[in-house]
Amino acid sequence: MTEIKKLTKIALIVDAIIWFIFGLMMLFLFDVTLNYEGWTNPLHVRAFGAISFVAFFFVIIMLRKKEWAEIKLLYICLISMCIAVFIVEAVTLAVLGSTFMAVTVSQMILDLVLNGGKDVLSIVAYIKQRS
Indicate the domain borders of the chain. Answer: 6-130
Confidence of residue 92 (pLDDT cuts 50, 70, 90): confident
Task: Give residue 29's pLDDT.
Answer: 73
Q: Give the H/E segment covering residue 111.
A: helix 102-130
Question: How does pLDDT run across 28-56, given as a tens digit for each residue?
Answer: 876 666 665 666 555 677 788 888 899 99
Task: Give residue 36's pLDDT.
Answer: 59
Residues across the chain: 131
Task: Give residue 49's pLDDT.
Answer: 83
